Structure 1
Amino acid sequence: MLVISFADAILDSARYTRRHLLLGNGFSIACRADIFHYGSLFAQADFSDVPEVRAVFKGLETQDFEVAIRALEGALRILPAYVADSAAPQAMMARHAEALKDILVQTIAANHPAIPGDIPDEKFWACRKFLSNFLAPQQGQVFSLNYDLLLYWTLMHEDKPFEGPIQLNKNDGFGNSEGDPLADYVVWQGEVGAHSASVHFLHGALHLFDSGSELKKYTWVRKGIPLIQQARAAIATNAFPLFVAEGTNIQKKNKIRHNAYLYQGFKQLTANAETIKHCFFIFGHSLAQNDDHILHRLARGRFAHLYVGIYGDPLAFDNTRIMRRALGDRLITSQPDAN
């Protein structure tokens, strides 16, 4: 496959009417690999309540939470075929799979940078310049698969001094609550809000909380308290952020279909993928099968072109695997420097 630079990919994509971005965990790893890499999360996680799950990770030779969750949920379904009295181990596997989801959320919240000031301005400015290729006026939309706050913080960050403003369309479909417009949070505005939004968190995020009657977005400007502190306080009371942490792509798809916000974002991605004169970029994603519920929508789409980012040596094992998963007539682009 042809490997081109990110700059050349942007020039090439200028022939299309809209340029969209699917953002993966590589975006966060590029900023703070010590926090956002799956291996780092494993090292920082507290498994004291479910010590048995360490053996699951060891047996699978992975530190990927999603792989472990998927293995547990798959094993509990086939165990009855091999064990006569499997009710007790099945219940334990189900309980541990759910516990891993909670541990993942708690670990991300506990180790996340506390405030935007913990990240150098230069990183935010570089990311804003990168995102301007997709969120500039009359451009496209960004679909994030990440749970953390880095994208949100980047959208809220002030522009780099002396170089002029970088205008980003940061509408995410949230606004004042009709019942309490002065509340210290904003709420999702429903399907109408989804249609006008340019930023979609397809798997939820650390600042989004489902209260049952409405989906809340915590903000600093409304409460004057850093978002991480708000999220940690909510988790301490057993209120968890909206996360899609299921193990398989089928389970993720089912979770998305049963949440209005997630499903509307999914539908927006699908609608853009069906538009012939649009193009998509994928950044920081390995094209792993556990996100096939998203990737299949792109593969079946009618949009004109897909640009897939790779990092490092194109002949490295991970990159050749990504290339094999990509369609043969698509362009593979080198990853831009968003550090």
Structure 2
Amino acid sequence: MTEVLSFEDAINETAGKGKRHLLLGNGFSIACRPDIFHYGSLFEEADFSNNPQLPKVFDALGTQDFEAAIRALEAGASLAPLYMGGSAAASTAMLDDARALKEILLTTIARNHPDIPMDIPDEKFWACRRFLRHFLAGDQAGQVFTLNYDLLLYWTLMHDDNPFSGVLDLTASDGFGNDEDDPEADYVVWQGETGAHSARVHFLHGALHLYDSGKDLQKYTWVRTNLRLIDQARTAIDDGKFPVFVSEGTSVQKKSKIRHNAYLYQGLKQLAANAKVVKSTFFIHGHSLAQNDDHILARLGKGRFGTLCVSLFGDPASDTNKEIIARAEWMKRLRNDRYPLALRFYDAETANVWG
């Protein structure tokens, strides 16, 4: 029978063992709002009933990536007249479908996410900051990596106007700063590798507040815009920007998208670098250790840190948890014998992430 610790016991066991790092999965968000975050992917949630031809676009491209499909339609609309005798019908149809896809993307995001931070009670944010202080405060402060593209982690880190000043203060740099050409803009921009070295929070699969403008990566901030998520996203997309997030596909497909984006790739390198530090520990919270994230999990398995603590939700003997345990054992087998990996499992509910 697998021993399952409380979260407090797992924290105590890792005391004095170097930096403590955290990798978050979707269970982190589900624990906050199970009514809206309990889904597999945006593509699966999207309603194509008014545009039944659109899934064929994804099939033809071999992807479930909305941005790839929209850009392909817009590019095709520009080229179609060259190959169709100057007819504008195909171009018009492609542009109409691109606009429809943008709206489907926006409505799917909005349906599966709170509009504004105030939709989450303050007490939940403060509870989450208590959880995060084990990884972002004190002598063992390390780094936090998330595979979620929702805004709950970002909103929590931003929610520092709490009555526990000095107790729940966190070191939460994410590598973004003012645009030197427009310091009063509604957004801040990624500072590149220079800023990345001081970053303590990494969105490994991007997030809904990060947008590719073509010339830089912009982070939209609630305190500067006061816009609902849906309005912020619509403004950005109408301006030709797309949220940077990796939500679909196999591990190979996700890895390919990460390698083609400097910000995402830098976050992956930061995780790999921390995994090679012998005197350090990693916690994985709210993740099933599914194979479609092997591009992340294998780097931890092949690292050198000493202890990996993995959360389990519910009965340790459930099929889901037995699979998580088996996958953790697979990660352990990836290790070089010179750097053995100790596995510990803890009860996710005892972490009281959201109170």
**Cα distance between partner residues in 2 of 1:312 and 1:319:** 8
Q: Where do 5+ consecutive residues of structure 1 fail to align?
A: 56-67, 71-95
- Which range moves more in the overlay, 164-173 or 208-217? 164-173
Cα pair 2:312 2:347 within 8 Å, conserved: yes
Amino acid at match of 2:169: Q
Separation in structure 2 between the aligned mates of residue 299 and residue 194 of structure 1, nearest angstrom: 23
CA contact 1:218–1:227 (8 Å) conserved in 2: no
Tell me the TM-score normalised to structure 2 length. 0.78
Q: In structure 2, what is the Cα distance between the partners aligned to 1:169 and 1:113?
A: 25
Distance in 2 (alpha carbons) for counterparts of 1:185 and 1:210: 12
Alpha carbons of structure 1 residues 106 and 193: separation in structure 2 relative to 1, 3 Å: farther
SS at match of 2:197: helix
- 1:83 is matched with none
What's 2:158 paired with? 156
Match of 1:332 in 2: 345
Aligned pairs for 1:304-319 (under 5 A) are 304-319=306-321
Q: Deviations over 1:163-213 (max 9, x none)?
A: 864111110000011222222210000001111000000000000001111
2:222 matches 1:209: no
Tell me how far 1:286 sits from its aligned partner: 0.3
Structure 1 residue 115 displacement after superposition: 1.2
Provide the residue aligned with 1:14 in structure 2.
15
Aligned residue number for residue 36 of structure 2: 35
Whole-Å Cα distance in 2 between the matches of residues 215 and 40 of structure 1? 23
Partner of 1:270, secondary structure, is helix
**In the alignment, residue 21 of structure 1 is paired with which amino acid?**
L
Name the SS of the counterpart of 1:22 in structure 2. strand
Single out whichever of 227-236 and 243-252 deviates more from structure 2: 227-236
Larger radius of gyration, structure 1 or 2? 2
Which position in structure 2 is the counterpart of 1:136? 137
| Aligned match of 1:116 | 117
Please, which moves more after superposition, 323-332 or 3-12? 323-332
CA distance in 1, matches of 2:327, 2:142: 25
Contact 2:283 / 2:308 at 8 angstroms: preserved in 1? yes
What is the Cα deviation at residue 268 of structure 1? 0.2
1:69-80 → structure 2 map (5 Å cutoff): 69=64
Aligned counterparts, 1:181-220, within 5 A? 181-220=183-222
C-alpha change, 1:250 and 1:28, in structure 2 (3 Å) is same
| CA 1:265–1:101: 2 relative to 1, 3 Å | farther
Output the CA distance in 2 between the equivalents of 1:253 and 1:209: 19
Q: Secondary structure at the match of 2:31?
A: helix
Change in CA separation of 1:227 and 1:106 when aligned onto 2, cut-off 3 Å: closer
Structure 1's 298 and 100: CA in aligned 2 closer, same or farther, altered over 3 A? farther
Letter in 2 for 1:119: I
Q: Cα deviations across residues 270-299 of structure 1 (Å, max 9, x unaligned)?
A: 000000001100001000000000000001
Q: What is the CA–CA distance in structure 1 between the aligned matches of 2:126 and 2:14, rounded to whole Å?
A: 23
Contact map agreement 2:6 2:346 (CA 8 A) in 1: yes
Aligned partner of 1:242 in structure 2 is: 244
Unaligned runs of 5+ in 2: 57-62, 66-96, 333-341
Counterpart for residue 290 of structure 1:
292
**Matched letter for residue 23 of structure 2:** L
Shift of residue 39, structure 1, vs aligned partner: 6.1
Q: Which residues in structure 2 correspond to 1:225-264 (within 5 Å)?
A: 225-236=227-238, 239-264=241-266
Checking the alignment, whether the CA contact within 8 Å between 2:25 and 2:286 is kept in structure 1 is: yes
Partners of 2:214 and 2:241 within 8 A in 1 = no
> Greater CA deviation, 152-161 or 141-150?
152-161
* Distance of aligned partners of 1:160 and 1:224 in 2 relative to their CA distance in 1, 3 Å threshold: closer
Q: CA deviation at 1:35?
A: 0.9
Q: Structure 1: how far apart are the matches of 2:301 and 2:7?
A: 21
CA spacing shift, 1:186–1:34, aligned 2, 3 Å:
same
Partner residue of 1:277?
Answer: 279
Tell me whether 216-225 or 235-244 shows the greater mean CA deviation: 235-244
SS, match of residue 207 in structure 2: strand
Measured after TM superposition, the shift of residue 260 of structure 1 is 0.5
Deviations 1:297-324 (A, max 9, x none): 0010001110000111111110011001
- By how many angstroms is 1:123 displaced? 1.0
Please name the residue that 2:24 is paired with: 23
